[in-house]
Amino acid sequence: MSLTRRQFAAFTAGTTLLAGRAHAQYPDKTITVLCAFPAGAGADASLRALAQAAGKHLGQSIVVDNRPGVAGTLAATTLLNARPDGYTLAQVTNTLVRQPFIARTPYDIAKDFSYVLGVTAFEFGLVVRADAPWKTLADFLAHAKASGNVTYGTSGIGTAQHQVMEQLAELRGIRWTHVPYKGTAPLLNDLQGGHLTAVSDTTGWGPFVDAGKFRALAVYGPQRLKRWPTVPTLKESGFDLAEAVPWGLVAPAGVPADATRKLHDAFRKGLEDPQFLATLNTLGQEVRYMNSDGYRKYMLDRIPVERAVVDRYNLKIQ
């Protein structure tokens, strides 16, 4: 049976209205955010606090599912197999941009993701055991150059904390051994157990410093951290270096614009939540918000920067 033009128009209007009503219900079920780092890490703690806060504004629960690995890019890679319906997100850092220059990756950062918002930035620092003889970064570097027997750990090859150590080695003519880990917890445990000389990592080491078990020699950001005001920056220690890595949330490419907007607005409000802010303070971090367009532009602008870093420090995996 064929439809008249008027009947077809009425049918089309009706289906459009029904689709609009169905879509307007978003979200109507639990949303999952894939954490790029292991449970218990600082990145995990801050993401969980933010998810709980944002869920209040969405009217739905937001659960966090840890997918650590591949220098923090496994979570985003998992999105390639997720439906673009706004119910699965992933936490990402600059490493998402850098990793394709280090090893073969299945994603294209310009085509495969919808950028939701930038959240904050990981702060980094170099720590040793509190009973180590080095009181300053200069002392530690002098020892490293003289002994040639220093091992330092990070949470992955090609990460910012790895990059900084390679830069320091180049500037001071040091040869030391990098030991990459899959997460912060085992990294810090091995430093505490004496299996590493030092750790270059995010401020997840903070509780150990606060408890008097570790000594922080330097932080990597452009300014001292409010949580540890006596710890100097790399610039104050004589190096023209500064490194802090923003992190944010992405969804699969193709998520409807209104769903992305609802996600953005809920997480944006979550950035003001007292519990989330308290968690950031514990980690020595502060909010570094970027809207959807700003975060996408920031990540794409990093492409030539990250390519240059990988080439200069020979981070590519053969």
149-198 pLDDT tens trace: 999 999 888 888 999 999 999 999 999 999 999 878 899 999 999 999 99
**Shared fold status for 8-122+245-312 and 124-219:** yes
pLDDT score, position 12: 44
Q: In the structure encoding, which two tokens stand for residue 316, read together?
A: 């590519």
pLDDT at 277 over 70: yes
pLDDT in tens, 185-202: 899 999 999 999 999 999
- Up-side HSE of residue 297: CA atoms within 13 Å toward CB? 5
DSSP 291-317: -HHHHHHHHHHTHHHHHHHHHHTT---
Relative orientation angle of helices 42-58 and 274-282, to the nearest 10 degrees: 170
Q: Say which CATH superfamily domain 124-219 falls into.
A: Periplasmic binding protein-like II (3.40.190.10)
Chain centroid, CA 179 distance in Å:
20
d(CA 74, CA 57): 28
Would you list the domain boundaries of the chain?
Answer: 8-122+245-312, 124-219
Cβ of 293: how many Cβ atoms within 10 Å? 10
Kindly tell me if the per-residue pLDDT of 31 is higher than 70. yes
Reduce the DSSP state of residue 45 to 3 states and report it.
helix
pLDDT of residue 21: 43
pLDDT score recorded for residue 24: 58
How far apart are the C-alpha atoms of 128 and 303, rounded to whole Å?
Answer: 33
- Mean pLDDT, the chain, whole residue set: 91
CA angle 149, 155, 159 (to 5 degrees): 95
Q: How far apart are CA 140 and CA 263, in angstroms?
A: 45
Distance CA 4, CA 39 (A): 60
pLDDT at 318: 66
| Fold observed for domain 8-122+245-312 | D-Maltodextrin-Binding Protein; domain 2 (3.40.190)
Q: What is the pLDDT of residue 225?
A: 93
